[in-house]
Amino acid sequence: MMKRGTKKLKCMNWDPETSKWGEYAPDEIGCREIVEVDSKTEKVLCWRCTSRSVTGVNKFGGATHE
pLDDT, tens digit (0-9, with 9 covering 90-100), for 11-48: 999 999 999 999 999 888 999 999 999 999 999 999 99
Q: Provide the 3-class DSSP secondary structure of residue 16.
A: coil
Q: Give a yes or no: residue 60 inside a domain.
A: no
Write out pLDDT tens, residues 6-21. Answer: 999 999 999 999 999 9
Neighbours of 63 (CB within 10 A): 9
Domain count, the chain: 1
Q: Give a yes or no: residue 20 inside a domain.
A: yes
Predicted confidence at residue 44, as pLDDT, reads 97
Q: What is the pTM of this model?
A: 0.78
Q: Give a yes or no: residue 63 inside a domain.
A: no
Q: Give a yes or no: residue 61 inside a domain.
A: no
Domain limits for position 47 = 6-55
Q: Give a yes or no: residue 14 inside a domain.
A: yes
Q: Give a yes or no: residue 30 inside a domain.
A: yes
Mean pLDDT to the nearest integer, 45-65? 78
Q: How far apart are CA 54 and CA 41, in angstroms?
A: 21
Tell me 38's DSSP state.
E
